Structure 1
């Protein structure tokens, strides 16, 4: 069963909202949630896009994971490193990294509804994999690309 949670008209803190989402995912459901924040720019936008989250099966570098980086503090960022039990994450629009343990990864994004589309862009698709491959390799110059992106909005 897949759940879609629309909280567009209600403001609920992530510290209250996401534990319920995580519980539902732990029970084997997929959950679609609206995105908050700008850390995954330029391709995922605050209050525009939605993430499809599912139970963690296998983690790989490049996956987008929902992680609890400190008590009741969650991020939906890309995994850029796994070393034993240690995971390094970074938002596509960020310079800094976050760190957590494998057990702190609560869900994995399997797709996104972008730009109001009713058809999800699956993270397993060629398009998403190509975007991810290119964008992650642009890390040294991303800050400049993001600056240009922000001033053209």
Structure 2
């Protein structure tokens, strides 16, 4: 069986039709912004239609510039917008509107295993990962400075 890679923008209309009809959509995310949760080399996510989001959910959304992004909900603002951040990023992307949300990840497929986002162990991992974002930035930043000082000697 041959496979062909396509961009989400190429299949957007079909994807929306499937989600709006109660189906799910599978795709392989690209990039490193969601490491270590999502890997660029074979992980697959399963999306369902967006109904509502909670903190720690993993939605696919469309930026105003047309870019598709799969990042985690860090905060829900009083005006109903969301602050998102990739698991491998430090800075929040603020003000994502509900009309930009396409779907929500319900499971991750890796090496033949299915990880449901409702799994209690996954939820614990996600909460700990999000809550240590600032601490991880300090530790990793300090480590990078230390490495740089060693190299410059």
Instruction: Name the TM-score class by shorter chain.
Output: 0.7 to 0.9
- Residues 27-72 of structure 1: CA distance to partner in whole angstroms, max 9, x if unpaired? 2101111121111101210132010100122210110001112242
Q: Which has the larger radius of gyration?
A: 2
Q: For structure 2, list consecutive stretches of 5 or more residues without a partner in the other structure.
A: 145-153
Q: Does 1:121 align with 2:115?
A: yes
Q: For structure 1, list consecutive stretches of 5 or more residues without a partner in the other structure.
A: 1-7, 149-153
- Give the equivalent residue in structure 2 for 1:63: 57
* TM-score (ref. length: structure 1): 0.80
Matches of 2:40 and 2:14 in 1, distance apart?
21
Count residues with an aligned counterpart: 139
- Give the equivalent residue in structure 2 for 1:91: 86
- Residues 11-35 of structure 1: CA distance to partner in whole angstroms, max 9, x if unpaired? 3223223443233112210111112
SS in 2 for 1:66: strand
Structure 1 residues 19 and 128, CA gap change in structure 2 (3 angstroms): farther
Structure 1 residues 113 and 72, CA gap change in structure 2 (3 angstroms): same
Q: Does 1:44 align with 2:63?
A: no
Name segments (4+ residues, structure 1) moved above 4 Å.
none
Name which of 22, 27, 33 aligns with 2:21.
27
Deviation at residue 121 of structure 1 after TM alignment: 0.6
Matches of 1:54 and 1:16 in 2, distance apart?
19
Q: Does 1:74 align with 2:56?
A: no
* TM-score (ref. length: structure 2): 0.80
